[in-house]
Amino acid sequence: MTKSDRVRDGVRADIVSGALVAGAVLDEVALAEQYEVSRTPVREALRSLAADGLLVGGPRRQQVVVDVTQRHRDEITVLRTALEQAAVDEACRRVTDDDLDGLHLMLIRQRRMAEAGDSASFLSEDERFHKALSEVARMPVLSRFLEQLGPFVRLARLDISTDRTHLAGLVVEHEQLVELLEAGESVALRTALAEHIGNTARRG
């Protein structure tokens, strides 16, 4: 990993976790000191994050953390739904016992996290679950698009409700998705997936 990669990954993690809030101005000098690098890898990292859409230009050529508005959230929901639904037919055709075993193990972990009210771990596991679900389709280009959308999904969910009741509801919906995948019910799975993603967006 290069110095610029290290800075980029660190700043991206701070953005999607909410440690760097929308509108925060990124100081090259401060970041260089924080990551113990020169300003050159910092500039490279910020250019990469700007190209990804996580930073926008501010006054005096500064880089500012993007503000995810409700309009952005709605667009993210539409795109996420379309991409995840696009994997359904192939996933139902290609799913293996190993795929299902992996998804069921995720559900077990999610139930424990929901019961404990561990929202941070649950939301990370939720992201891994949806990634694993789409990867059952074995469509690497689609997986790449979802990976690029991932940081925006996390930003859109920063203010999501995280009480035990909400988390338990997500587990129930995830169980339904896995049941439909196992049964090969592609039409029903597409419908349930759209409802699940829409419900998650509305709970935020």
Helix, strand, or coil here: 200?
Answer: helix
Q: Model confidence over 98-150: pLDDT tens digits?
A: 999 999 999 999 999 999 999 888 988 999 999 999 999 999 999 999 999 99
Q: Work out the pLDDT band at 1, boundaries 50, 70, 90.
A: confident
In this prediction, residues 143-167 reach a mean pLDDT of: 85
Q: Amino acid identity, residue 15? A: I
Torsion of CA 46, 84, 105, 109, to 10 degrees: 60
In this prediction, residues 150-167 reach a mean pLDDT of: 82
The CA angle 129-81-121, to the nearest 5 degrees, is 30
Q: Model confidence over 9-66: pLDDT tens digits?
A: 999 989 888 889 889 999 999 999 999 999 999 999 999 999 988 999 888 888 999 8
Q: How far apart are CA 126 and CA 162, in angstroms?
A: 12
Helix, strand, or coil here: 5?
Answer: helix
> Which stretch of DSSP H or E encloses residue 25?
strand 25-26
